[in-house]
Structures are given as structure tokens and as C-alpha cells.
Amino acid sequence: MSRLYRAALPEDYVHNPDTGLWELSFDQRPVAGTRSSSPEEGAAQYNAAREKFKSAVSAVRQRPEPVFSFTEMTEWVVEHGTPEQCQAVRLMFDARDKSEFDIAVREGLKVLPRHLDFAYFFGRFSDRMRVSVPLRERLFLRLS
């Protein structure tokens, strides 16, 4: 659902003789543009600050959903990953024991996107064995 924000107009400002500044009548928070030397300047600052806030909120809402399984992570890397990301996942597959797997996970933290963290960081060493052979082969082909 979209949330509406009120835009400031120069007519929304009231002059405060104590401070000598124009103050926004409907918003008293310490936000850019609520107090200004002129109503036009204040409205421009306030509306720019609100737009910046709205775009930041939109960016948060557009984050990819977290991935919880090793199979989903491998699918994402095969479809969207860089060669470095594919290599990081391959190192996890090639690990011979838990110690090597933990080292590969630490390397993966450096290159894999955050929405994949749950799949490998909180997963178990044996989770990688649930990935189908054809999907593994697609990963290995991406690296050759």
C-alpha cells in the first residue's frame, strides 16, 4: 500500500517574529525545511527531504526476499551471480569437511549478497548435499 505524504507550499509557512524564521504550520519536527529564511526555500527543502525519505523507504521495500535453502541459493547464483559468487558457492560444495566448509562460508560472506546469508551461514554442512546434480552441473558450467 502506498503512503501519501503532504507536500509543503509557501502558503503553509508562518513567520515567527521571535526567531525571524518562517515555520511550517503542519510539521514542527526538526526536519529540513520546517524552519527557513523564506517560505519558498523552506518548501523546496522540505519537499526534497520528504522525497529522499520516500525513496529510501521504497528501496527497503524492494529488497529481495531472504533465501533459506542451499538449493535456492545455488539457483540464484546460477541465474544471477557473478563468476566470483559462483566460485564462492562452488568452494562450499567442494569442501571436504566442516572446517573447509566454514572457511568457504567466510569467503562467501565477502562476495554473496545479503539475502543469501541464511542459506549458507545458518545452514549445515550437509545441506549442500540436498542440491540436485543437474543444478550443480549448471553451476560448474557457469565457471568453465
pLDDT digit string (tens) for the chain, length 144 residues? 456 778 899 999 999 999 999 999 998 888 899 899 999 999 999 999 998 888 887 766 666 666 778 888 889 899 999 999 999 999 988 989 989 988 988 888 888 888 887 777 677 777 778 888 899 899 999 888
Q: How far apart are CA 37 and CA 4, in angstroms?
A: 27
Q: What is the pTM of this model?
A: 0.54
Query: Which pLDDT score, from 0 to 100, does residue 59 have?
Result: 64
Task: Give buried/exposed letters for 127-137 (b at 16+ CB in 10 A, else e).
Answer: bbeebeeeebe
Instruction: Map grid coordinates 562452488 to a residue.
Output: 90
> Would you put residue 130 in left (φ > 0), alpha (ψ -120 to 50) or beta?
alpha
The x, y and z cell numbers of residue 75, run together, are 539457483
Q: Where are the domains of the chain?
A: 10-61, 70-143
Is the separation of the CB atoms in 8 and 43 below 8 Å?
A: yes
Q: What pLDDT does 29 receive? A: 87
Query: What whole-number distance in Å separates Cα of residue 96 and Cα of residue 82?
Result: 24
pLDDT of residue 1: 41
